[in-house]
Amino acid sequence: MKSIAKYVVKHRGVWADWSNNRYGLPHLLLAAAGIAGFFLVWAIGGNYLFNRPHFGQFSGFLPVATIKALGRLLFDLQFWPSVLASLRRVTVGIGIAFVLGLPLGLLIGYFRQLRTATYVPIQFVRMISPLSWMPIALLVFATFESAIYFLITMATIWPIVLNSSLGVSRVNPQWIRMAKNQGATDVQVLLYIVVPASVPYILTSLRLALGVAWIVLVPVEFLGISSGLGYIINDARDTMEYDRLMAIVMAIGMIGFILDGSIQLIQRVFRWNWVD
């Protein structure tokens, strides 16, 4: 078994992207142009909408006011505890989804009969909006925190299940046959062949799950709690601090961008394929 497993993967590190000029000067210039274009569209559209009569109270949505509010937000005593609270909820929700979804995805991908039997139920349930479960979560769970964990789990478990099963289905069947010819059990095949080959797909599933969780996070944090990014957005809206509201929106985008980039970096470090 080990004689096969040692030939299963070949490694391509993060430095390969540098050698391919992925982060060269042209790439950085294009990225800078995209950012400048984003702010230009924001400034032109914002000035057109909010500099008209009777819309002056919404001038806080403009770029200059937002950037100033973002600078103040970074030193706000309420901001960083809210960021940590939101990150904790996302981490716990995705963690539960990963513990439940990864084994299910591996089994569905490995056993064809199980894949056929679970196809319709999984496709049906995953098409239900996670926010649709909100009334049920409030009735079933004793605390708002538990309800939030449930909603994030329901939002993120399906990308993990589907991408993990996809990774298993893409494993070279010749390696599985060779392992079984050498006397490997299904458990050994899963541990030594299937799981290592599926790691890139598993990391992709985590990236997708993080994106979904970060989108769902703000509305689920409206559920009667007193911390989190969703809570302080709601508070800024109620107090009509529109520059602060837009600054929080920008902060959510930047934090999400950093989290997504972190997973992309891990994906590049652990990028491998089947040896031909």
Domains contained in the chain, number:
1
Distance CA 170, CA 105 (A): 13
Better pLDDT: 186 or 41: 41
Residue 120, domain member (yes or no): yes
Distance CA 152, CA 156 (A): 6
Are the beta carbons of 222 and 181 closer than 8 angstroms?
no
Query: Which range is least confidently modeled, 47-51, 146-150, 165-169, 195-199?
Result: 47-51
Over 60: is that where the pLDDT of 144 sits?
Answer: yes
Residue 241, domain member (yes or no): yes
3-state secondary structure of 212: helix
Distance CA 64, CA 73 (A): 14
Residue 62, domain member (yes or no): no
Residue 96, domain member (yes or no): yes
The CATH number of residue 173's host domain is: 1.10.3720.10
Number of Cβ within a 10 Å radius of residue 223: 18
Residue 202, domain member (yes or no): yes
- pLDDT of amino acid 275: 43
Residue 28, domain member (yes or no): no
Single-letter amino acid code for the residue at 68: K
Q: Can you give the residue range of the structural domain that contains 236?
A: 2-14+77-274
Distance CA 129, CA 96 (A): 18
- Tens of pLDDT along 51-79? 777 776 777 778 888 899 999 999 988 89
Residue 52, domain member (yes or no): no
